Structure 1
Amino acid sequence: MSDYLPNDVVVEILARVPVRSLLRFTSVCKLWYSLITNPSFISTQLNRTISNTTTTNNHLLFVRHYNMFQDIGRYAIHFDNESLDVYMELECPFTTVNDYFRIVGVCNGLICLSDDYDSHTDTVIIWNPSIRKSVNLPQPGLRFASHGMCLLGFGVDSLNDDYKVVRVLYEAENHNYKVPPSVEVYTLNTGTWRNISAAASTPFVLHGFFTLPTFLNGAVHWVASNCIDDNSFRSLIVGFDMGAEVFREMMLPESVAHTDVLKLSVSVRGTSLALTQYQKIWQSENCWVWVMKEYGVVKSWTKLFTIDMREGIRTFMGFRSNNDVLLSARVRGLVSYDPNIKQIKYLRIHGSNRSFYADSYVESLVLLKGENRVLAQANSYHAISNGVANISVREEDRVEEQQ
């Protein structure tokens, strides 16, 4: 077919093909291999997929949870439909010293993992499960102090088409953390860490070890605190711009600004920044969900709704494509909540409460020609076919059987 069609037409056709088919097509001929593995095509295919997802409402969710009975972290991509049906069960090929990896973030089909949930290690991995490729990041340049705090953020620098991990380190000082922190950035294009500590001149303390950061508008966002005087702190949101590599502060509503940061978490609702405010640090009876309708405009913060958490709800996980929300609940696992009618739907996904992670997902070819230190795989039809076949069929959760 390509002998009779211009290359730009072939690219336009191939950009509409699912990722797993494109992997097989790389073995059709040298021209198709060259086209599909070209960075320009990878970007075109990604943009086409994102556009189609928006127009067709065919959204996917990446979900991770830890099954205590099987002693395994389970990873899957789900259709974001009413029952959250499984689209693809994933085998995580990496070994962890903890029960499971921390999910640093998900962006354009890439999942950033850090092996530091309970015991700190410097292991950070960028993984594309759709094409079974990964990159193990090199040893960071900055040393982590055992009594300090190390935070990570992951996202894309769209202007330079580069994926980055930012690493922020605090030293302990008088039962608090010394400011400003030390900061370094890893860029996928160079494969190296670079010290940018001079970018962190504002005396804030980021908080994201138990509440994860979120990526929006080219920046990673954390809940943070800033010292006003010797006896008081002000909570805020701090974003790290992946392109400019600078930190920017974003104020919270006045009624929230003096809330303990441990009662706050940040997330994304569509194209807007969202904030969850818990009544208590642990086992709240209620939480309130806010959204910043106009990015960066403090006056646009709006309280959307209140969630009654008295029936075992533990954590707000994030928004779904229909603006329902995902919550983790004691005993019942991951549940979907409709804030309009205040109704909960059980999703039959069980695990330890703090192990749940959910975020929107889009399949991509990013890393197709990249490094892979975990899965040595030849670029052939048989290798790709076997890789797809090895994706496990979803088993019914043993917790359901015991209930």
Structure 2
Amino acid sequence: MRVRKLRAPLPENKYLTPDLWSEVLLRSPPKTLLRFRCVCKLWCSLIDSPDFISMHLKTYKNNQLLSTEHVPKTCFDSVFVIRRSDTTTRKVAQLVKDSESSMISECAMIDGLMLMGCYSSNDSNSKDLSLWNPSIRKLIPIPLCPLKINNFVAVEYHLGFAPLSKDYKVVVFELGDLNLNASKLSVAIAIYSVRDRLWRMKPNWSDFPKWCLELMQARDGAVFSQGAFYWRPYYQYLKCLGEESNTHLLSFDVESEEFSFLKLPDIGEEMRKFIFLLGGSLALFGISKSEACIWVMEKSCGKDPWRQFSSGDSDTDTYESLNRCSMHNLHFSHIGNTDVLLIHYFNKLMFYNITSHQVQHRKHFRCLHMDIYVESLVLHKV
């Protein structure tokens, strides 16, 4: 009978320190981290800690795209497809949905979370809402919104994060009857706190400029940056909405739960303006027949928060292409660690290089929605 020799334990200086283990774990995908929780109590408590979850969100980047696409030969079914972020947009995987709900089109993915919704069986004008983290297969149902929604009003659903209170919030705007012949209307707001697990009704905003509500309805969602929603400028509506809609952005702060206006940099009326996220900050892309520029907003800079990021000569074909689409809901996404903007509208997909100002078109690609795919541990302990 062979006798197995017991190995002597490694000296302490051969083990990784807790700080080094933390650095290793921060660079692991969420599914792997959930399995690592079973290794030991130390790892479990580390992975479950709010600070680690927040740091993992900032550290782990996979630079992939998430597209919502129609199932072939069906009218209403859709699937979520993960694709490469290069010009091939090759399919990497398909997500398995944990419910029959669909992603609410006006909502971007926030910290790996998606706001899902389907019409309620009890009330055809309300939606059954849920939050879904596809990277860890976590689905959290949300109670029915208390707003009494009828057929004659427009409703906006948005998902955001309040950085000071560290609370994810679902914000529902009931925009009122926009057919009324009035310059100012009221808007009803309901807010769901994921931390507190309850809805709150905000007092109705009366005397709200009608052009703001029309802009909210006309644009397919808003850009979320550093705790606030910003609605996209709409060039085709400027004459109808008024001069202020060309010089300011309408915003809603998720922390204070208040509307405000953000003055845009003065880049000229001839510029077509589009907003997007650049490294987590709000950015403005402007393009005319002769020039293209990008400005980035720095919240800590007081009354003049805009800083020019880049500028250069415009490409005529690019301008004409974007100008033709400016009346539609163009979605701009910056691909991390590159100089590339992904521009999507229905069956159009363009890759725009912000340094060379050159465009590559991806032909015959149709999807309902395109976003940067974020993997995270957010809400895994809820």
TM-score w.r.t. the length of structure 2 is: 0.72
Residue among 147, 150, 158 paired with 1:145: 150
Q: Give the distance between the partners of 1:318 and 1:108, measured in 2 at CA.
A: 17
Q: Give the distance between the partners of 1:231 and 1:43, measured in 2 at CA.
A: 40
**Residues 292-307 of structure 1 correspond to what in structure 2 (within 5 A)?**
292-295=295-298, 297=304, 305=314, 307=319
Please say if 1:64 is aligned against 2:68: yes
Q: Give the distance between the partners of 1:231 and 1:241, measured in 2 at CA.
A: 22
Please say if 1:113 is aligned against 2:121: no
Please say if 1:220 is aligned against 2:212: no
- Cα distance, 1:23–1:311 mapped onto 2, change above 3 Å: same
- Cα distance, 1:293–1:200 mapped onto 2, change above 3 Å: farther
Deviation at 1:244, TM superposition (A): 2.1
Deviation at 1:111, TM superposition (A): 1.4
- Cα distance, 1:273–1:35 mapped onto 2, change above 3 Å: closer
- Cα distance, 1:347–1:90 mapped onto 2, change above 3 Å: farther
Q: Give the distance between the partners of 1:143 and 1:224, measured in 2 at CA.
A: 29
Structure 2 counterpart of 1:160, one-letter code: S
- Cα distance, 1:349–1:233 mapped onto 2, change above 3 Å: same
Residue aligning to 1:238? 250
Deviation at 1:127, TM superposition (A): 0.9
Residue aligning to 1:81? 86
> Secondary structure, in 3 states, of the residue corresponding to 1:308?
helix
Deviation at 1:240, TM superposition (A): 1.4
Q: Give the distance between the partners of 1:41 and 1:342, measured in 2 at CA.
A: 39
Structure 1: runs of 5+ lacking an equivalent: 280-285, 371-403
Maintained 8 Å contact 1:272/1:293: yes
Residue among 311, 321, 330 paired with 1:309: 321
Residue aligning to 2:35? 24
Residue aligning to 1:334? 349
Q: Give the distance between the partners of 2:41 and 2:149, measured in 1 at CA.
A: 46
Maintained 8 Å contact 2:186/2:204: no
Q: Give the distance between the partners of 1:367 and 1:194, measured in 2 at CA.
A: 21
> Secondary structure, in 3 states, of the residue corresponding to 1:160?
coil
Structure 2: runs of 5+ lacking an equivalent: 1-8, 235-239
Residue among 329, 334, 339 paired with 1:320: 334
Of the structure 1 ranges 304-313 and 130-139, higher mean CA displacement relative to structure 2 is found in 304-313
Residue aligning to 1:375? none
Structure 2 counterpart of 1:158, one-letter code: P
- Cα distance, 1:11–1:213 mapped onto 2, change above 3 Å: same
**Residues 1-400 of structure 1 correspond to what in structure 2 (within 5 A)?**
10-49=21-60, 53=61, 58-71=62-75, 72-96=77-101, 101-115=104-118, 120-172=125-177, 174-175=180-181, 179-197=185-203, 203=209, 205-206=212-213, 207-209=215-217, 210-223=219-232, 232=242, 234-235=244-245, 236-252=248-264, 266-274=275-283, 291-295=294-298, 297=304, 305=314, 307-309=319-321, 316-321=330-335, 322-328=338-344, 333-338=348-353, 340=356, 342-346=358-362, 349-351=365-367, 355=368, 357-370=369-382
TM-score w.r.t. the length of structure 1 is: 0.69
Higher relative CO (Cα under 8 Å, sequence separation at least 6) belongs to 1
Structure 1 counterpart of 2:359, one-letter code: Q
Structure 2 counterpart of 1:125, one-letter code: S
Maintained 8 Å contact 1:292/1:300: yes
Deviation at 1:310, TM superposition (A): 8.8
RMSD in angstroms over aligned alpha carbons?
Answer: 4.2
- Cα distance, 1:215–1:311 mapped onto 2, change above 3 Å: closer
Q: Give the distance between the partners of 2:169 and 2:273, measured in 1 at CA.
A: 25
Maintained 8 Å contact 2:187/2:208: no
Per-residue CA distance 1:291-326 (angstroms, 9 max, x = gap) = 443347487689875532299967532133234333
Q: Give the distance between the partners of 2:59 and 2:306, measured in 1 at CA.
A: 35
Per-residue CA distance 1:183-213 (angstroms, 9 max, x = gap) = 1211110111112236777536243444221
Q: Give the distance between the partners of 1:10 and 1:153, measured in 2 at CA.
A: 37
Structure 1 counterpart of 2:371, one-letter code: D
Q: Give the distance between the partners of 1:223 and 1:333, measured in 2 at CA.
A: 19
Q: Give the distance between the partners of 2:170 and 2:153, measured in 1 at CA.
A: 19
> Secondary structure, in 3 states, of the residue corresponding to 2:44?
helix
Residue aligning to 1:394? none
Q: Give the distance between the partners of 1:290 and 1:181, measured in 2 at CA.
A: 35
Per-residue CA distance 1:363-384 (angstroms, 9 max, x = gap) = 11111122xxxxxxxxxxxxxx
Tell me the number of residue pairs that the alignment of Structure 1 and Structure 2 aligns: 340
